[in-house]
C-alpha cells in the first residue's frame, strides 16, 4: 500500500510533460474555434453576396416598364452580380401591381380604394445552399441563405 501511495505522490510531483498535454488541449480548442470562425464567416459572406445579387436583379427591373416586365433579364442580372455561371443558384423574379391597404391587383387600370392608380413592383429572390466544414450541434448543413428584394417601378 505504501508503494502505491509513494508512486502516486511521485507522479503528482513530476511535472515533466505537462506543457505538452496543455498545449495539445489548447491546439484542439484553437483549431475548432478557427473552423467555426471560417464556417460562420463564410455564411456571412454568402449572405452579403446573395443580398447583393437580389438587389442587382431588382435594380435592373426598375429601370423602366420594359425591363420591369423582363423577368429573364432580372434573373440574368442577379446571376451576373453573384458570378453564377453554372446556374447553381435558385433565382426567381416577379412583377405585380399593388394598392396600399388593398394588396395585389390585376393591372394598372384598377383604381385603388383611395382613387389613385396602383403601383408596379418587381421582386427578385435569390437562394443558395452553403455546406459547412464541420458538424455543429443544433446547426443543420447545408444552410440555406436567401434574400428577397422588392422595389417599386413607378
What is the predicted pLDDT for the residue at 1? Answer: 65
Higher pLDDT, 149 or 12: 149
pTM of the model: 0.77
Q: Is 83 helix (H, G, I), strand (E, B) or coil?
A: coil
**Which span out of 10-14, 87-91, 105-109 was modeled with the highest average pLDDT?**
87-91
Instruction: Please state whether 87 falls in left (phi above 0), alpha (psi between -120 and 50) or beta.
Output: left
Beta bridge partners of 99: 103
- 53, 78 Cβ separation under 8 angstroms: yes
Q: In the numeric block, which cell numbers belong to residue 103? A: 394588396
- 118, 99 Cβ separation under 8 angstroms: yes
Given strand 143-152, what is the order of strands in its sheet? 103-105, 90-99, 119-130, 143-152
pLDDT digits (tens, 9 = 90+) for 86-96: 888 999 999 99
pLDDT at residue 102 is higher than 90: no
Amino acid at each position: 500500500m505504501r508503494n502505491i501511495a509513494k508512486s502516486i505522490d511521485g507522479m503528482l510531483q513530476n511535472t515533466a510533460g505537462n506543457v505538452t498535454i496543455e498545449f495539445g488541449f489548447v491546439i484542439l480548442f484553437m483549431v475548432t474555434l478557427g473552423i467555426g470562425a471560417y464556417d460562420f464567416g463564410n455564411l456571412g459572406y454568402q449572405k452579403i453576396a446573395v443580398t447583393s445579387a437580389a438587389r442587382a436583379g431588382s435594380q435592373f427591373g426598375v429601370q423602366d416598364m420594359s425591363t420591369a416586365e423582363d423577368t429573364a433579364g432580372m434573373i440574368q442580372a442577379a446571376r451576373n452580380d453573384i458570378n453564377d455561371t453554372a446556374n447553381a443558384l435558385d433565382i426567381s423574379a416577379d412583377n405585380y401591381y399593388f394598392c396600399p391597404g388593398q394588396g395585389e391587383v390585376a393591372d394598372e387600370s384598377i383604381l385603388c380604394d383611395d382613387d389613385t392608380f396602383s403601383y408596379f413592383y418587381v421582386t427578385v429572390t435569390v437562394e443558395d445552399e452553403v455546406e459547412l466544414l464541420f458538424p455543429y450541434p443544433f446547426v443543420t448543413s447545408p444552410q440555406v441563405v436567401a434574400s428577397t428584394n422588392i422595389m417599386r417601378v413607378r
